[in-house]
Structure 1
Amino acid sequence: MAVSFDLFGTLVDVSYPENPARAVAAELDARGVAVPNDWDDAYREVHIDAPDGAEVPLPAHVSAALASRGVDAPNNAPRHAVVSAFDPDVTRRPGAREAVAAAAARGPVGLLSNCSVPELVGRTLVRADIARDDFDAITTSVACGWRKPHPDAFTTVAGALGVDVSDLIHVGDDPETDGGITELGGTFVDVADVPLSSFPAWLEDRWG
């Protein structure tokens, strides 16, 4: 048995930009990139043909959106702009650390997060005062290339934890994405039904 946790909406709450396109545009402008007049349209368009379920890193999308309007963005400006634009306030959810510790007492523990922004997961953990060392594996969609509920997202974290995916318990807040583990024979724990504060008791009841 192993347990993986979703991050955003499960272990932490974060504040995102109300208008991501404008937030990225402001950071691009601050780096001397000529933001096109129709940036909102460019940002919403699909520019990279990715397989169904694949993650497109947001800096790659921003670079492609700029290129579609003939704008060159040197010196890795899109990556720096995206990282700065998505710099949220973070609140650790009640019971988060206790839930992770309870899981760790019974087996390997992973983090599995859909996140297209580089560095965001690491910075979020720091601001939530959750140690990276609390996890045996941290898997993000921007790193592994697949977003939950794609099977490869779950098999990647299960493999990193050294268990078969059918032996994985995944804790999350979204039945549409996190619940995809059930298609692979694993177990989904919805924090709407089992709050983090109740998760240690849930584990005790089922696994001793």
Structure 2
Amino acid sequence: MAVTFDLFGTLVDAEYPSDPGSAVADALREYGVAVPDDWDDAYREVHIDAPEGAEVPLPAHVAAALRSRGVDSPDNAARRAVITAFDPEVTTRPGAVDAVAAAREAGAVGLLSNCSVPELVARTLIRSDLDRRGFDDITTSVACGWRKPHRQAFEAAARGLGVDAAELLHVGDDPDADGGIEAVGGRFVNLRETTLESVAARLRAGEDPCP
């Protein structure tokens, strides 16, 4: 059996900017970019025509929003501004470390996270009590190009672990996104119906962790 975990809201809690557009604008100014007067509108508009379920990296969206107003973002300013704006305080959720350890005792363990911000997952893990080495593979939507619940997100995570997607047991807190594992034949552990502590105990007892 291979187990994958969602990250945000499942293994950790992270504090994001209350107004992401304004946070990105402030960071852009730090990097010398002239932020348009109607930035709030530009940030909210769709600028990249992506297939349904595909992930649009936030730096690409920000750069496109600037271009739509005739503003360039030289020296990779859009990417640097996004990374600066999303620099959260991180709290490890109760039972997270033990649940990952129990999953490792049962087989391969992966992380599968919807995240449009480059480097955020890596920085989050560093700031948490989780050990990056506890995961055999880490799949993010910004890297694989697809967001949960799209099947390709789960298939990418499965490839990283060397298994078929139908062999995955996915642990998450969002039935709409994380529950997409069931469409590819895998199983979903819904943390709205159970706890990480219970998942760990059931894995160690050789029991089905699905409630």
TM-score, normalised relative to structure 2: 0.97
**128-137 or 49-58, larger mean C-alpha shift:** 128-137
Letter in 1 for 2:10: T
Partner Cα separation in structure 2 for residue 127 and residue 89 of structure 1: 8
Q: Number of matched residues?
A: 208
Partner Cα separation in structure 2 for residue 157 and residue 68 of structure 1: 34
Q: CA deviation at 1:207?
A: 5.6
**1:145 corresponds to 2:145:** yes
Counterpart in the other structure of 1:73: 73
Q: Percent identity?
A: 66
Which structure 2 residue ranges, 5 or more long, are not aligned?
Answer: none
**1:206 corresponds to 2:203:** no
Instruction: Give SS of 1:105's match.
Output: helix
Instruction: Give SS of 2:17's match.
Output: coil
Q: CA deviation at 1:111?
A: 0.1
Counterpart in the other structure of 1:115: 115
Partner Cα separation in structure 1 for residue 150 and residue 202 of structure 2: 26
Counterpart in the other structure of 1:45: 45
Matches within 5 A, 1:80-159: 80-159=80-159
Partner Cα separation in structure 1 for residue 31 and residue 201 of structure 2: 50
Instruction: Give SS of 2:99's match.
Output: helix
Q: CA deviation at 1:206?
A: 2.1
Which structure 1 residue ranges, 5 or more long, are not aligned?
Answer: none
Instruction: Give SS of 2:207's match.
Output: helix
Q: CA deviation at 1:205?
A: 4.8
Partner Cα separation in structure 1 for residue 202 and residue 70 of structure 2: 55
**1:192 corresponds to 2:192:** yes
Counterpart in the other structure of 2:178: 178
Instruction: Give SS of 1:171's match.
Output: strand
CA RMSD in angstroms comes to 1.1
Counterpart in the other structure of 1:30: 30
Letter in 2 for 1:32: G
Q: CA deviation at 1:6?
A: 0.1
Partner Cα separation in structure 2 for residue 135 and residue 207 of structure 1: 21
TM-score, normalised relative to structure 1: 0.98
Instruction: Give SS of 1:130's match.
Output: coil
